[in-house]
Copies of this chain bind each other. A is one copy, B any other.
Amino acid sequence: MLAARTIALDGMGGDFGPAVVLGGAAISLERHPNLDFIIAGRGADIAAELDKLPALKARTRIVETDIVVAMNDKPSQALRRGKGSSMWKAIEAVERGEAHVAVSAGNTGALMAMAKLILRPMPGIERPAIAALWPTIKSECIVLDVGANIGASARQLGDFAVLGAAMARALFHLERPTVGLLNVGVEEIKGVEEVRQAHAWLKEAKLPLTYKGFVEGHEIGQGVVDVVVVEGFAGNIALKTAEGTARQVGQYLKDAMMRSLSSRIGAFLARDGFRVLKQKMDPRRVNGGTFLGLNGIAIKSHGGTDALGFASAIDLGYEMAESDLLKRVAADLGTFHDALDSEDKT
């Protein structure tokens, strides 16, 4: 039997609060019976949901709080008013070593600000990155940063490579994940100075990853590398553009299948294939942005997801909790920073 892993949940986060959070936890518990939960939130609300889910109730400790961070609070407001909130207490459980990972469907900016304050950045890290799982035709890859930093320096891009490789090691069970730097392919420009500098460093650095050089936007979904490193503005735009394009093609497909009787009959006969396609493209299947670079792991679920989607975010946390990711990443970051510092490259 596997050792128990504990996930701390912000019971009040997201558009639908405890119903979705606890529903998701119940689904995830079925998949991973060695999970334990710490769920922070309004006691009566949590208990009412737990009564419907006896298996989950048996594995859950409630941490009561009446303070809730609103979805539209600014990070500064959340820090001021949200001390002791359900979001705060979930993160605090990680900081105290009571939980391996915290998961919240609450406000991203607030979660980032609180996670940074409570868990604190690892030595040499200025700001955490948000890493997303990205479906590829082969399986999945990790893309970071998808929105925490804007205008990353070369050193930060190098940090992202180390952090992303550690996550790939934990999730994909690879000893030396492949890493690429996202860049543009137009001959004349060949990317920004920071990207070129990070490229030069990653080529030389002795790190537990295989650096594959530049990759372009269309190569992410082909799965050419396990980890794609990009500054947060372009990374967030790429992620949302891909999500939008997938929905757009799905719409084209629906329209095309409705245009004639024979198409409609054909689509009905092929419903088994379409069901598989729908599952494959279900955005709930891949849900959760992982904050990397802190002394503890926090995962942001989409705020508008349902129980199935929230369960994916918990599953991700489960995988991350399985490995000794953080110990190893601290050592790898140290190696990278020492190499930079010895060449006065900070």
A interface residue numbers (CB < 8 A to B): 74-75, 107-110, 112-113, 135-137, 147-151, 182, 184-189, 191-192, 216-222, 230, 232-234, 236-253, 256-260, 262-274, 276-277, 280-281
With a CB–CB cut-off of 8 A, which chain B residues contact A216? 237, 240
Query: Could you say how many copies of this chain the assembly holds?
Result: 2
Q: A150-B191, A151-B192, A260-B272 are in contact. List 19 more A-B contacts (CB 8 A).
A: A75-B188, A147-B189, A148-B186, A185-B240, A217-B241, A217-B244, A218-B247, A221-B245, A234-B238, A241-B241, A242-B245, A246-B248, A253-B277, A259-B272, A260-B273, A262-B269, A263-B270, A266-B268, A269-B269
With a 10 A CB-CB cut-off, give which of A151, A216, A241 has the most chain B CB atoms.
A241
Known: A107-B187, A221-B245. A276 touches B262 (CB 8 A): no
The distance in angstroms between the C-alpha atoms of A265 and B217, with both chains bound, is: 35
Who on chain B is nearest to A251 by CB? Answer: B137
Query: Can you report 25 A-B residue pairs in the complex whose CB atoms are below 8 A from each other?
Result: A137-B248, A137-B252, A147-B184, A147-B189, A148-B186, A149-B189, A184-B232, A186-B236, A217-B237, A217-B240, A218-B247, A234-B234, A237-B238, A238-B241, A242-B244, A246-B248, A256-B274, A256-B276, A256-B280, A263-B269, A263-B270, A263-B272, A266-B270, A267-B273, A270-B270
Who on chain B is nearest to A258 by CB? Answer: B273
Partner of A276, one of B238, B259, B274: B259
A252 touches B281 (CB 8 A): yes
**How distant is A127 from chain B, measured CB to nearest CB, in Å?**
10
Known: A185-B236, A236-B184. A280 touches B252 (CB 8 A): yes
A243 touches B217 (CB 8 A): yes
The distance in angstroms between the C-alpha atoms of A104 and B61, with both chains bound, is: 67
**How distant is A69 from chain B, measured CB to nearest CB, in Å?**
11
The distance in angstroms between the C-alpha atoms of A313 and B185, with both chains bound, is: 20
With a CB–CB cut-off of 8 A, which chain B residues contact A268? 266
